[in-house]
Structure 1
Amino acid sequence: MTDLEELGKKLTTEGPHKVEGTPRRVRGLLGGGYVFDTTAARYVWEHPYYPYFYIPKTAFEKGALEKLDSSTKSYWLAKLSIAGKSTDRVLVFEDAGPLKDLVRIEVSALGLKSTHFTFSASNEGLDGWFVEDEKLLGTHPKDPYKRVECIPSSREIRIEVDGVVLAKSSQNIFLFETMLRPRYYLATTSVNWEFLSESKTTSYCPYKGMANYYNIKVNGKKIDDAIWYYRYPTAESALIAGRLCFYNEKADVFVDGVKEEK
C-alpha cells in the first residue's frame, strides 16, 4: 500500500495537476454489483498525462467504505466491499482542498500491459468503469481533451532493424493522438512475416481497444512486443483494425525515406 500512501501525500501537499467536474454518469462494477452510481464524479489529473475518476463519498452505500488507516487528517486508506468481493486499493480524502470528500479507486489491471503512463499496476480493484452505458477499456478514463484521428496516407513507411527491411508500405493509416507521436499502421501483406513471432502480451487503451503483440527476431536479436495490432478496435479507431504498428522506439522507422528519431 506504500504507493497509495505516497500518492495521498503527494496530492495533499502538492495538489493535483487539475480537477474538473463532469456531467457524465459514472458507475463502478465490483463483484457483480455497482458500488457507486453518480453524475457528480470529478476528473482528477494526478499528473499531466491523463485523468482519473474520483467519486464523492456520498455516492457509496453506507458502510461500504471501511477505514484501514487514519494516520492523517487529509486522507486515509480504505477497503471497499460489496456482494462478497472487496478491494483495498482505495484512497479517501477528507480535508484536501479540491479533493475534499472524494474517493479514488483503482481498476483491476490483471493481465494487462498499459500503453500509457500508470501510477500503479494493481491486480485488484474495480472490475470496470461504465460511463453512461459504455464500459471503458484500460485502467483510466478517456481524457475529454484528447483526440484520436485515423487518416489514410500514401506516404511510404519502411521499417528496419539492423538494416534488415521488415516492412514497406505506401497504403497506411496514420494515427494521430493528442500529445503523443504519430503511429503508422501497415497492412499485414506489407510485412515480412519470417521475422515475427506471436507474443502473449495484451494491453488495453481507452481510445483504441485491446491490443495483441508480436515479437521480432533479426540477426539473432529478439525484440519483445515490438509490434501491436487491434483485432476489434473502438469505433473512433476502426480504420486500424487488423493493421500492424511497429514501435517507433524499438525499430528504425522511415517516412518517405527520412528516418525518425527514436
Structure 2
Amino acid sequence: MSTSDLHKLAVKLVKDGPYKREHTSRRVRGLFYGVYAFDTINAEYVWEVPNYPQFYIPIRDFSDSNAKLSALKEVEKTDGGAYWAELAVGSRNTNRVIEFRKGPLAGFVKVVFGAIDQWFEEETPIYVHPKDPYKRISILPSTRHIRIEMDGVTIAETSTPIFLHETSLPTRYYIPPTSINWAYLRKSGQETSCPYKGKANYYHVAVKNSQHDNICWWYQYPTMESAPIAGYLCFYNGVVDVFIDGVREGD
C-alpha cells in the first residue's frame, strides 16, 4: 500500500469509519527486529474493505520497553483524527504506521501488515493478512475422475483428487504429482503466500508451442489446516479445461 493510499484510507476511516469491525479475543503479537512490538488480547478485526480484515492494535499494547511507538505528524485532512507514526527498535524503524486519535477507531493503531517481520495469532504465524473469521476452507479427498486439458491436450488425469472448497471462491482440484504429465510443465520462479494455505510455488504450462505462465501451483509446506494438499498440484479453473467424471466444468 502506497503512502498516498494510506493517506486516503486514514481520511476515510476518520470520517466514515470502516466497512465493519469487531473485537477478537485472540492473542495477537507482532515481531519486529527480534522483539515483540505489541502483544494484545484486545485487537480488533477491521474490514477496511469488504474482502478481508486487518488487525488494529490498541495504542496501550505497544511495549515501550521493547519497541517505541511515536506519533510524528498529523495526517492531512483528518482534523487531528489520525497521525503518521513511527515504530522503532533501537535504530531500526518503520513509518508504515497510523495512530488514530478521533473517530470510530480512536485509540487504535494500524501497522501495515508487511511492515514488520511476523504476525502471530496465539502461537501460529499468519501471512498476507489475518484470516477472515467468516471464511473457511474444507479439504475433501474424492474418487471422482478429474482430467485437466489445455488446447485439447491432457495435462493431468486422476481418480484420487483432493477438492478444496474455499468460501466465495471456485472449487480447486488438487492432483497427485504422479498424475501429472510433466512434459508440459516448466518451472517458474514465482512465489505467492496465502493466509489459509501458506507459500505456493508455480509452474508454467507449455502446449502446442504456446506457454501459459504461472497457471499451475503447489504447496510444499502448507499450513497445518491445509496439510492434505502438500505436494499436490492445482491449475487455474477457466484457464484450463476441467473435466469432472467426463463433463467439462461450466457446461
TM-score normalized with structure 1 length: 0.87
What's the counterpart of residue 112 of structure 1? none
Q: CA deviation at 1:241?
A: 0.9
Equivalent position to 1:180, from 169, 174, 180:
169
Q: CA–CA distance in 1 between the matches of 2:123 and 2:36?
A: 13
Confirm or deny that 1:129 pairs with 2:135.
no
Confirm or deny that 1:67 pairs with 2:67.
no
Q: Give the aligned residue type for 1:199.
A: S
Q: CA deviation at 1:256?
A: 2.2
Q: CA–CA distance in 2 between the matches of 1:91 and 1:194?
A: 50
Extract unaligned runs of 5+ from structure 2. none
Confirm or deny that 1:81 pairs with 2:70.
no
1:209–1:230: 8 Å Cα contact kept in structure 2? Answer: yes
Report the secondary structure of 1:238's partner residue. helix
Equivalent position to 1:153, from 142, 146, 167:
142
Q: CA deviation at 1:188?
A: 0.8
Report the secondary structure of 2:113's partner residue. coil
Q: Give the aligned residue type for 1:233.
A: P
Deviations 1:62-96 (A, max 9, x none): 55223244422222222211133211211222212
Confirm or deny that 1:101 pairs with 2:110.
no
Q: Give the aligned residue type for 2:7.
A: E
RMSD: 1.7
Q: Give the aligned residue type for 2:169.
A: L
Deviations 1:86-138 (A, max 9, x none): 112112222121x1211111222xxxxxxxxxxxxxxxx011101111121x2
Mapping for residues 18-33 of structure 1, pairs under 5 Å: 18-33=20-35
Q: CA deviation at 1:217?
A: 1.2
Q: Give the aligned residue type for 2:108.
A: L
2:24–2:44: 8 Å Cα contact kept in structure 1? Answer: yes
Q: CA–CA distance in 1 between the matches of 2:230 and 2:56?
A: 32
Indicate the percent of aligned positions where both proteins have the same amino acid.
48
Q: CA–CA distance in 1 between the matches of 2:70 and 2:216?
A: 42
Q: CA deviation at 1:258?
A: 2.7
Q: Give the aligned residue type for 2:27.
A: R
Deviations 1:21-78 (A, max 9, x none): 1111111111111111111100111122211100011112455223244422222222
Q: Give the aligned residue type for 1:164.
A: V
* Bigger mean CA deviation after superposition, 69-78 or 171-180: 69-78
TM-score normalized with structure 2 length: 0.91
Extract unaligned runs of 5+ from structure 1. 109-124
- Which of structures 1 and 2 has the bigger CA Rg? 2
Aligned length: 244
Q: CA deviation at 1:261?
A: 4.5
What's the counterpart of residue 232 of structure 1? 221
